[in-house]
Structure 1
Amino acid sequence: MSARVGTLALAALAVAWIAPAGAEEAPTLKDGRIHVVGRARAETAPDFASVEIGVEAKGATPAVALDAASSAAKGLIALAETFKVPEADIGTTAVTLQPVTRSVPQPDGSVSERADGYRAANTIRLRLADMGRLGDLMRRALEIGANRIEGVSFGLRDPDAAEAAVRVAAMKDATMQATRLAEAAGVTLGRVVAIRSPAEAGSSPYAPMPAPMAVRSKGRGAPVPLVAGTIETAADVSATFAIAP
């Protein structure tokens, strides 16, 4: 290819790949370089489930209410141990104690608030690697006094590894795009001169199930049905390649 023909080919390709204003960033070839954005996504099965199980108790005095909640919380911890949950995966997330009032109608039609004891709560976070047993644990928790389930989530213990893998895939995608552009332009792809991972790329290590709810035990029953699903990890890699002489 002559120098004149090569220059015309490069110019035509640059025009074809330059995105209009406001459009998504597209591959470009100009100033002797090829710029592309590689993208990759992956679906990964979670390797742990997390749940916060709470106990609320009411008593005439602060001590009575707190002792009742504490006793049930100890039962939750003991239950988790029977499910072989490691100590590091058991943690208290909240302990509360507050006075309670009740509304009392007055002869004149108004309503006044009167003291009605105290309410205490204790919430325990449990994390299980054996996700298939989470539903059974939640059901068993009701039988020992739990009456609140604050939320369930599924996650990855090493989300950085999943993100690193998908970034590698995104870089491979960028290299493939640049190679095709170089071949189309009749030039030789050179070395990478710049790599940038945009801030918006990444993933969420948790797949939450936003379902705070109060529950009551009605005797022994079936485990709570749960579906873990998958966790999506995505990455964009912006790369600039030189054109070899």
Structure 2
Amino acid sequence: MTPISKALMLGGALMAFAAPAAMAQTAADPVSPLQVHAMAQYPALNLSASGEVKVAPDMATITFGVMTEAATAQEAMAQNAAQMTRVAAALRRAGLGERDIQTSGLNLQAQYDYVENQPPKLRGYQATNRVTVNIYDLNAVGTTADAVVAAGVNQIDGISFGLRDPSAAENQARQVAVRNLQAKAQLYSQALGVPLGGIRSLTEGGGYTPQPPMPMFAMRASAMDSASTPVAAGELSVRIDITGVYDLAR
């Protein structure tokens, strides 16, 4: 045998011994492509569940406005500003701070009269100023609405109730959702007669969503009747949706 042939045979033997070691090292990796493929072949349950809790709101949001009309744009805006100044003073007397009051709309439009077969005729101008306020004393919602109406508000767009910090309610809903998911997984496992394995993945959706405004009708309190506009806060629903994948033991 030539020296070259002996060198080739020795090199092949060394490669044969090295190959199992390399394979063993690959198999020891935390997550190899081979392992991922094997995991995908395991039987699994893909389930969804939800958790919902009812909580009392701790704040109310009201959007209202002042609308004025006048022959000129300047006069319409001046009248609107005067009324809004009185409204702002009424809000301060009701205990609202500057950070609880936000201008949500300011609009000025020309107003026309339309007659058939005639060009539009300018009637005047309409100015609208809308304000959104947050009220944290729910017992004061009705009296606050009456106060701003008495001060000059002639439009109330709606009221909504909410939570200043929904995290506690969301966490409670998460616990309910997980318990419901676990119970559902156990039910399927028993029905299939297959032991339930560990959970492979868990995803979440949903959460606290602010309530959309609801119509609110405010009435000016008269001297004969000092009762304020009735307002019922009710309850809010906080819901969490989850999806989990469970392994089934073979």
2:231 alignment counterpart? 226
For the aligned residue pairs, the C-alpha RMSD in angstroms reads 2.9
2:78 alignment counterpart? 67
Q: Closer, same or farther in 2 for the Cα pair 1:61/1:226, shift >3 Å?
A: same
What residue identity is the alignment partner of 2:233?
A
CA deviation after TM superposition for structure 1 residue 209, in Å: 0.8
Kept after mapping to 2: 8 A contact 1:97/1:119 = yes
Structure with the higher fraction of residues in strand conformation? 1
Q: Closer, same or farther in 2 for the Cα pair 1:216/1:232, shift >3 Å?
A: closer
CA deviation after TM superposition for structure 1 residue 229, in Å: 1.6
Which consecutive residues of structure 1, in runs of 5 or more, have no partner in the other structure? 1-29
Q: Closer, same or farther in 2 for the Cα pair 1:231/1:218, shift >3 Å?
A: closer
- Deviation track 1:178-231 (CA, whole Å, cap 9, x = no partner) reads 23444555655332111123x5x44532153145x7x78585553222212222
1:238 alignment counterpart? 243
2:16 alignment counterpart? none
Structure with the higher fraction of residues in helix conformation? 2
Kept after mapping to 2: 8 A contact 1:207/1:231 = no
Which whole-Å CA distance do the structure 1 matches of 2:47 and 2:110 have between them?
A: 62
Kept after mapping to 1: 8 A contact 2:90/2:148 = yes
Within the candidate set 82, 86, 94, 1:83 is matched to 94
Which whole-Å CA distance do the structure 1 matches of 2:235 and 2:167 have between them?
A: 16
- Deviation track 1:147-183 (CA, whole Å, cap 9, x = no partner) reads 1111111112234543343123211211222234445
Pairwise mapping of residues 193-232 of structure 1 onto structure 2 (< 5 A)? 193-197=200-204, 201-210=206-215, 217=220, 219=222, 222-232=227-237
Query: Structure 1-normalised TM-score?
Result: 0.72
Is the radius of gyration larger for structure 1 or structure 2?
Answer: 2
What residue identity is the alignment partner of 2:132?
R
Q: Closer, same or farther in 2 for the Cα pair 1:75/1:157, shift >3 Å?
A: same
Query: Structure 2-normalised TM-score?
Result: 0.71
Q: Closer, same or farther in 2 for the Cα pair 1:101/1:74, shift >3 Å?
A: same
Which whole-Å CA distance do the structure 2 matches of 1:162 and 1:205 have between them?
A: 13
Within the candidate set 51, 65, 73, 1:54 is matched to 65
Instruction: Give yes or no for the alignment of 1:145 onto 2:152.
Output: yes
1:33 alignment counterpart? 44
CA deviation after TM superposition for structure 1 residue 111, in Å: 5.8
Within the candidate set 186, 199, 202, 1:179 is matched to 186
Pairwise mapping of residues 128-167 of structure 1 onto structure 2 (< 5 A)? 128-167=135-174
Secondary structure in 2 aligned to 1:97? Answer: strand
- Deviation track 1:124-158 (CA, whole Å, cap 9, x = no partner) reads 11110112211111111121111111111111223
CA deviation after TM superposition for structure 1 residue 33, in Å: 3.0
Kept after mapping to 2: 8 A contact 1:49/1:153 = yes
Secondary structure in 2 aligned to 1:158? Answer: coil
Between the aligned residues of both structures, percent identity stands at 26
- Deviation track 1:41-86 (CA, whole Å, cap 9, x = no partner) reads 2122111111111111122322221111112112222222222223
Paired residue total: 208
Kept after mapping to 2: 8 A contact 1:204/1:231 = no
Secondary structure in 1 aligned to 2:213? Answer: strand
Kept after mapping to 2: 8 A contact 1:154/1:206 = yes
Kept after mapping to 1: 8 A contact 2:42/2:247 = no
Kept after mapping to 2: 8 A contact 1:50/1:154 = yes
What residue identity is the alignment partner of 1:118?
Y
What residue identity is the alignment partner of 2:104?
T
What residue identity is the alignment partner of 2:112?
T
Secondary structure in 1 aligned to 2:232? Answer: coil
Secondary structure in 2 aligned to 1:142? Answer: helix
Q: Closer, same or farther in 2 for the Cα pair 1:238/1:111, shift >3 Å?
A: same
Which whole-Å CA distance do the structure 2 matches of 1:35 and 1:216 have between them?
A: 54
